[in-house]
Chain A
Amino acid sequence: MTIFSTDHKVIGKQYIGLALFSVLLGIVLSLVMRFHLVHPDAKVKLFGALWPDGAPGGQMTPELYLSLMTIHGTIMVFFVLTTAPQSGFGNYFLPLQIGAHDMAFPVLNMLSFWTTALSLLTLLAAFFVEGGAPLSGWTAYPPLSGLGRITGPGQGLGQDLWILSIALFCVASLMAAINFIVTIIELRAPDMGYFDMPLTCWGWFVTALISLFAFAVLLAGGILLLLDRTAGTSFFVPGGLIVNDQIQTRSGGSPILFQHLFWFFGHPEVYIAILPGMGLISTILSTFSGKKVFGYKAMAIALLAIGGLGFVVWGHHMFISGMSPYSSIAFSVLTLAVGVPSAVKTFNWLATLWGGRLRFTAAMHFALGFVSIFITGGITGLILGQPGLDIYFHDTYFVVAHFHLIMGVAAIFAIFAGLHYWFPKMYGRFLHEGLGKLHFYMTFIGVYAVFVPLHFAGFVGNPRRYPDFKEYEFLKAVMPLHIGVTHAAYFLAAAQLIFLFNYFWSQRRGAAAPANPWGATTREWRDD
């Protein structure tokens, strides 16, 4: 296995490795944040050693908290949820499932992975430069992100590195998207029409189409934001702004424009994270029910519909930006319309199970867990899609709970399901089933224990992105809830150690697997 390999299987594993490293780092960052929320005054020597400026004497500053949040979000969204299901599994299994020898452009594929790796390094470098990592969250709204050091310690070089990292990621994702689309259009086996492809391929196909257009717009936003910071332009920075008692001499643009660009990318990004998982879950539910997927064609069209609708709903992230109520209604109706293809998928998954001979393997557990979490997280989407409710909930933990479930946890469950399902193909051995199920139950209980209570914190108006709740009288009542959530987060993180052990132990010691261990019907299991 060479480092700069152009083999799609190696590149797939490299992407999965990169995502695994990233997810562990993201989990650690979230644990540090959860710890700080319940012990805001704790002096931790380790924090002081890691971040001498961000945690003088071990006491974490609000700025450090925000920078941990920024990197947690950025890592999880870009380097875990975007890479593993699409580039990881997709690279490995797309050519096998459509009967191709490799991806269409192997060298481009290699370049795409290493650009992603460079992007990750650039992001992490932000921790080590003067001022540390940026504070502006994964959405990087200007003016906070547009003005430089004056707006906070991480807003100097740290924010520049963040934008550079995202721009690199955009380029890498565009290369990957082109590769996926050309592979599917040009390299399908002669006897395979579009509607003969497994739904996994449909998931990757639609995701690649979304990436092609969404990342192009984010790239433009990133370039303009970088110009605002380095060349003195003012696309997104208002004129006459006074920050820390200093007037900012800019000619005056509009921060809202950046929000439009960001969410034109940001909403489709949610589907980039979840659509490959949807395809995968369809395959797994069908395999372990011993039945064909119910309503195959409807499932494929629903993927296309979700991908298409994803480009016209970005405004629902901006209901509180002062947009016209007429626009809000339009965005709201379109947003609720996404519920239709989503419901088609959900009911078809349930219908696939109906009357089947169910085999409750670990992969099947995670697939069923995916459906459960997709429903739970999806229903709160219907709540947030309505301007009247969103205006109240927008900057609260309700939104945090919603997007973690639907975008984060659901996609992660699909990744776990996929790893259990495809591990025999990738390593010739099984992941340990017993450990897998134990990991499933602990994770399933853990995520609900973490995220369900956070909805209630949102109900009482608990704001997001606050590093310290004890300053606010009305939040005193929510502290017991947060203490519970933090303990649940520790439990959830501990459960992942089981998976880590299983993943590495099984690669060497797992039970040997036959060529087609699950009795699946897709091409990748055929002897080759």
Chain B
Amino acid sequence: MNPAGAKTLGMWLFVLSDLLTFATLLVIYTALRLANPDWPKPFALSPSIVYATIMTIVLLASSLTMVWAVDAMGKNDRKRAVQWLLATILGGASFIALHLTEWRHLIQIDKITPASSLFGSVFFGVTGLHMAHVAAGLIYLTVLATGVARGKFSAEDIETGGLYWHFVDLVWMFVFPLVYLMAVKP
């Protein structure tokens, strides 16, 4: 058997590696933006930024519920843990729904697409990779929630899942200022 902490260490290593993947995208963004004196700033404070702030709050709230899920599992309260996991899943799913609505708005009304400009390339590239991570996280959390409900998984498993989820939220905390706040209409 593996000693305690092996899974957590494995997830930390994944997070380190994935951090570099995201960092690469942000470096590409930086390089392209620095090369471009008139980088577009299409987001109006209202509604675009307000909307993105709501998305941010929803995602952060799901991190909080994840903390409570880990806490409940630590106290061996499986019922509570499942409830908080479901709340986390709800938060993540709402984030994706809000995000997709925003994407549709951008593509259909503002005519910003991946092909329309470098801004579009960066915006959809970065937020798309992040959204893929949230979606993968939802599958991961669903597996955890159903498992915990059936009496499987240890506290460490939930903690490991939490590590992934917090990481995905943390990445958003870089994406939000760099991609949204730095593109506010002057």
A residues in contact (CB < 8 Å) with B: 104-105, 108, 174, 177-179, 181-182, 185-187, 212-213, 215-217, 219-221, 223-224, 227, 231-235, 250-254, 257, 261
Contact = CB atoms under 8 A, between A and B. Distances in A.
Contacts of B118: 234-235, 251-253
Q: Which 4 A-B pairs have the closest CB atoms?
A: A232-B115, A233-B121, A220-B24, A216-B20
A292 B31 CA distance: 50
Given A213-B20, A251-B118, A174 B14 contact: yes
Contacts of A105: 2, 6, 10
Contacts of B120: 233, 251
B32 A216 contact: no
A221 B13 CA distance: 20
A267 to B, nearest CB: 15
Contacts of A227: 114, 121, 125
B170 to A, nearest CB: 16
B161 to A, nearest CB: 15
Contacts of A250: 115
B35 interface: yes
B124 interface: yes
Nearest to A258: B28
B21 A217 contact: yes
Contacts of A212: 13, 16-17
A220 B6 CA distance: 27
Interface string B119-141: 01110110001000000000000
B5 interface: yes
Nearest to B129: A223
B17 A216 contact: yes
B46 interface: no
Contact of B20 (A104, A217, A235): A217
Interface residues on B, range: 20 to 34
A234 B116 CA distance: 9
A216 B115 CA distance: 25
Nearest to A100: B2
B9 interface: yes
Interface string B8-30: 01100110111111101100100
A187 B5 CA distance: 11
Contact of B2 (A186, A224, A233): A186
B31 A254 contact: yes
A185 B5 CA distance: 11
A66 B3 CA distance: 50
A179 B13 CA distance: 10
Contacts of A178: 10, 13-14, 17
Given A217-B24, A233-B121, A251 B16 contact: no
Given A178-B10, A233-B114, A233-B124, A224 B28 contact: yes
Given A104-B10, A186-B3, A235 B17 contact: no
B13 A216 contact: no
B117 interface: yes
Contact of B21 (A108, A186, A216): A216
B142 interface: no
B66 to A, nearest CB: 22
B24 A254 contact: no
Interface string B24-59: 110010011001000000000000000000000000
B113 interface: yes
Contacts of B121: 227, 233-235, 251, 253
A174 B122 CA distance: 25
B117 A216 contact: no
Given A104-B2, A216-B18, 11 more contacts: A182-B9, A186-B5, A212-B17, A216-B21, A220-B20, A220-B21, A232-B115, A233-B115, A251-B120, A253-B121, A257-B32
Contacts of A253: 32, 118, 121
Contacts of A220: 20-22, 24-25, 28
A199 to B, nearest CB: 23
A478 B18 CA distance: 48
Given A231-B114, A235-B125, A253-B121, A213 B17 contact: yes
A517 B29 CA distance: 57
A231 B24 contact: no
B115 A186 contact: no
A66 B25 CA distance: 30
Contacts of B16: 212-213
B24 A187 contact: no
Given A105-B10, A186-B2, A217-B24, A231 B17 contact: no
A234 B32 CA distance: 10
22 contacts: A104-B2, A105-B2, A182-B6, A186-B2, A212-B13, A212-B16, A213-B20, A216-B17, A216-B21, A217-B20, A217-B24, A220-B28, A221-B24, A223-B125, A224-B28, A233-B115, A233-B120, A233-B124, A234-B121, A251-B117, A252-B118, A254-B35
